Amino acid sequence: MAAIIQQVLKEFNANKPGTAYFDQSIHDLYNSFRATAAGYWVITSQQHLWGGGGIYPTEGLPAGYCELVKLYLLPAARGRGWGKQLIVQCCTAAAEKGYTHMYLETMPELHTAIPLYEKMGFEYLTAPLGQSGHYSCTVWMVRTL
């Protein structure tokens, strides 16, 4: 997944400090998401990894909130409904884990993802929540689960 995350961020000219591109955790997602309150899912077909996305209890978020994190799909995987499928999976799992809200951070450069987030019920915030460390993300959204 690390290669996919970095490839997608390069594709959109968003491979800059303060983004997932430089997160060391992308190189060991298995251990990063082993916490009970977290989860990560991938899309595969015919032995090929197409992308993934997850939920994480980011430090500093309000009680009941988790963050939708590291949702990236390769170009050939887009337009197939897989991004929506991942968001639905993440929302379902988050609700099952007791979360009441899902927060996300993104950037204007990731312009193809933002309309999907809007369609999936995410609403804009005027400031970030929590302490993700992604200071280059300037678009913040939340939805009730």
**Structural domains present in the chain:** 2-144 (3.40.630.30)
pLDDT digit string (tens) for 28-75? 888 889 888 999 999 998 889 999 999 999 999 999 999 999 999 999
CB atoms within 10 A of CB 81: 9
* Rounded CA separation 32/34 (Å): 6
Q: Which residue has the higher pLDDT, 86 or 30?
A: 86
Whether residue 24 is predicted with pLDDT greater than 90 in this model: the reply is: no
DSSP H/E element including 49: strand 48-56
